[in-house]
Amino acid sequence: MGPTDEDMAEIVARLRSSLGLRGKAMVKPIEKGALLKFCAAVGETEPLHLDETYAQSRGYRGLVAPPTYLSVFSEACGEVLCRDIPFTRFLHTDDAITAHVPICAGDIITATPLLADVFAKRSSRGTLLFQAADIALTNQHGELAASLRVTTAFHE
């Protein structure tokens, strides 16, 4: 037997009282070698992501990180998602990125997570408890380079 609707409403209300709470930041340098390895793994062929001299000739500080490289910061969501719930299994349901300033090799990115949303929804898998984290990615100049929203559904 899973949690009743009243149990779920109570869990959602408890978790929502933490909305906006920030978790511990993760700091990660953007390394050229790591970007090249990532490009090879996803089949990237765009020269801005692979050729440093070309990227600099187009006005970038260094190799431009491919759009989904920002996934390396998604684990920061673990700092704000609440695990004190009756479910241990989860599905990764949505990812969304808003880019503001290109992230390039040589940057040092600080990823600060925040609990952005909590809600419950019925589905064929039973009730799903969704938790979304917003992760702000700030570069070494203090600019908000991008934000990343990761949504996870916990279930029985």
- CB closer to another protein, 11 vs 104: 104
**124 three-state secondary structure:** coil
> Is residue 71 part of the contact set for another protein (CB under 8 A)?
yes
The separation between CA 11 and the C-alpha centre of its own chain, rounded to angstroms, equals 23
Task: Give the span between the Cα atoms of 34 and 38, in whole angstroms.
Answer: 6
Nearer to another protein, 102 or 106 (CB): 102
| 44 contributes a contact to another protein by CB under 8 A | yes
Q: Does 7 bind another protein (CB under 8 A)?
A: no
Report the candidate in 29, 94, 104 with the shortest Cα–Cα distance to residue 66.
104
In the beta sheet, which residues pair with residue 108? 29
Q: Which is nearer to another protein, 11 or 107 (CB)?
A: 107
Are the CB atoms for 50 and 63 separated by under 8 Å? yes
Examine residue 67 and tell whether it contacts another protein (CB under 8 A): yes
Residues 89 to 118 in contact with another protein, rule: CB under 8 A = 91-99, 102
Distance of CA 34 to the CA centre of its chain: 18
Binding interface with another protein (CB under 8 A) = 34, 37-38, 40-49, 58, 64, 66-68, 71-72, 74-75, 91-99, 102, 149
